[in-house]
Structure 1
Amino acid sequence: MTNGSSASPPQSRTAWVADRIREEVASGALRPGELIKQTVLAKRYGVSPTPVREALRILEADGVIDYATHRGATVREMTPDTAADLYRLRAAVEAVAASAAVERMTPEGLRTVEARHADIERAMRDGTAPAELSRLNKRFHFAIYEMSSPLMLQYVEALWVRFTPPATIWSTEHADALQRDHDGILQALRDGDAEAAGRLTAEHVRHAAAIRDQHPELRASGSQDREDLGAT
């Protein structure tokens, strides 16, 4: 994970902090059930406690964070069923977004996707930590989805935000296979093949789901009585 204090926050510090927390949750740096100490995050990101507190409230509404009396904020623990459902939804929505991205791809957009792909390749060669590979993986995917439409991007973002994994799957054991999936998706983009881009994206998401299912330490393990997504 990139230290949040290494970059200048945009106009909204709260939104910037919320994005940093989302990245840490998505990479597994903040694990389900882990107590979130606002003072620690404030120091890590180089901000006052106020934007951290406000960001946590936003993430609570998004279903990422739980608040409990006398305990404070923790990363929401997913049940196995919820994790499976999120992967199903991701496979469907991201396939549509990838297909639409091909149809609306610009030369500049394709260069950005290629650069994000190269970032992962370089990081893997350099032995970069799995959490950082996870962050780069998200940048690759969203470089594609940003070429679809604001509406599709919004739906994809909502699904990624809801997903709170116990750990990233971007370990040395799985990184090569996941990057080979990316190779195929990128080639479909270069070929202008919308059908292939959508199909390969869905297969890639299902591949990620299978990796988690095959490794107990990567599976969601929250109990059903702890989970209540509520309405937002």
Structure 2
Amino acid sequence: MQNSMETNTHYIEKVYERLLEAITRGELKPGERVRQAVLAERLGVSRQPISHALQLLRHQGLLRDAGKQGVEVTPVNDEYIFHLYQARVSLEPLAASLSAERIKNRQAPEARVEAMRTALEIGHENLSSGAPVYLMVKADSRFHMSIYQLSGNSAVSAMMAGQWPHLMRSMLMVLDHPAVPTRAWEEHATIARHILNGSAAAAAEAATQHVERARLELIDRLKNTSRS
């Protein structure tokens, strides 16, 4: 008899998170078939939570139908990633500016401020220890999400939360270059410093430059990939 925990929402979310991580870190590669029976055996669960998790991932655009073979991992869509970066050029400066304003006006919850500091520290620790690229990407996501939450704008947090799995897949192609992680975390530190100083305009400008630089590096990497 299967464990009754497999049918509750919490357990389904755990399976979903494991599969999401496998996709974003490249364990499940673009175009790879995803079979419920294989996953159920690998994760030691019944097919029910697997089925629910696959539906969530398909709705998120990370999986797509593959006919009688079930589903497969959706390839990275270059055009969609470009569109996400266009959106980030507007949303990231807004979040940074709002965060700085909240700190300046003493409206920022200390827990949110500490979450940003912690995210920054984790990134620098990963950088110093030579952590795997996926951990660097995960830390990058955590840092930016901490700013969305610090901003107090729930719409920005909601819009971007669902997009970071797509961004993380694309960032794996960029952050494997030796110089990129160091520069990225220097820029993160600059953004955080301006936010903590309550300098809204400076925080927004630093965020704009950071996202624009990341966008150009991604375009360059995708072009090189298509040529090879």
* TM-score of the two chains, using structure 1 as the length reference: 0.78
- Name 1:101's counterpart in structure 2: 99
Q: State, as a whole percentage, how many aligned pairs show the same letter.
A: 24
Structure 1 pair 26–185 and aligned structure 2 pair: CA distance change class (3 A):
farther
**Of the two structures, which has the highest relative contact order with CA contacts closer than 8 Å and spacing of 6 or more?**
1
- Say whether 1:170 aligns with 2:168: no
Q: State the alpha-carbon separation in 2 of the partners of residues 218 and 14 from structure 1.
A: 39
Q: State the alpha-carbon separation in 2 of the partners of residues 87 and 219 from structure 1.
A: 19
Q: Contact 1:31–1:166 (CA<8 Å) still a contact in 2?
A: no
Secondary structure at 2:68 match in 1: coil
Secondary structure at 2:169 match in 1: coil
- Say whether 1:206 aligns with 2:212: yes
Q: Contact 1:212–1:219 (CA<8 Å) still a contact in 2?
A: no
Structure 1 pair 37–89 and aligned structure 2 pair: CA distance change class (3 A):
same
- Say whether 1:185 aligns with 2:185: no
Deviations 1:11-59 (A, max 9, x none): 6122233233334433444332233344554466554432222111012
Larger radius of gyration: 2
- Give 1:66 shift: 0.6
Q: State the alpha-carbon separation in 2 of the partners of residues 42 and 102 from structure 1.
A: 46
Structure 1 pair 19–145 and aligned structure 2 pair: CA distance change class (3 A):
farther
Matches within 5 A, 1:43-192: 47-104=45-102, 105-148=108-151, 149-163=153-167, 165=169, 168=172, 169-171=174-176, 173=178, 174-192=180-198
Q: State the alpha-carbon separation in 2 of the partners of residues 198 and 15 from structure 1.
A: 34
- Give 1:139 shift: 1.2
Q: State the alpha-carbon separation in 2 of the partners of residues 136 and 110 from structure 1.
A: 16
CA RMSD of aligned residues (A): 2.8
**Paired amino acid for 1:171:** D
Deviations 1:172-213 (A, max 9, x none): 512111111111111111111222222322322222222222
> Aligned pair count?
212
* TM-score of the two chains, using structure 2 as the length reference: 0.79
**Paired amino acid for 1:160:** W
- Name 2:12's counterpart in structure 1: 14
- Give 1:130 shift: 0.3
